[in-house]
Amino acid sequence: MNDPAKFREQLNTVFRADHDAGAVPLLLAEVTDPRVSAGFEHFSLFFHGPSDRILPQGTYAMQHDALGTLDVFIVPVIGSNAERIIYQAHFSRPTPASAAP
């Protein structure tokens, strides 16, 4: 699943990241507009997580009520504070023209 429109439909819903200490709820707070560069479309997701459970950079199995299970690589980013930790997931896919044989 690397379609920004599908994620945008899920703004302000919770994804549950599987972690050794239990599932960590992550609110999908932002989906950036796609941009094209060198034949690839790029976009990012920004999640807000609880400040008392920091997830290290890595790939997590995320459960979502509408999207099912997704493996997503997230990174904690600048902007986190005492109320929340912000995580970014970045996606890149070939544009339709560059994906043709």
Q: Map out the domains of the chain as residue ranges.
A: 4-99
Express each pLDDT in 7-35 by its tens digit: 999 999 999 999 888 899 999 999 999 99
Nearest to 37 by CA among 74, 92, 83, 80: 92
CB 45 within 8 A of CB 7: yes
d(CA 41, CA 47): 20
- What pLDDT, on a 0 to 100 scale, did the predictor assign at position 1? 61
Q: Within its chain, how far is the Cα of 16 from the centroid?
A: 11
Q: Give the CATH number of domain 4-99.
A: 2.40.10
Helix, strand, coil % (nearest 5) of the chain?
10, 50, 40
Report the DSSP beta bridge partners of residue 63: 16, 69
Strand partners, 62: 17, 70
Summarised one tens digit per residue, pLDDT across range 41-72 is 999 999 999 999 889 999 999 999 999 999 99
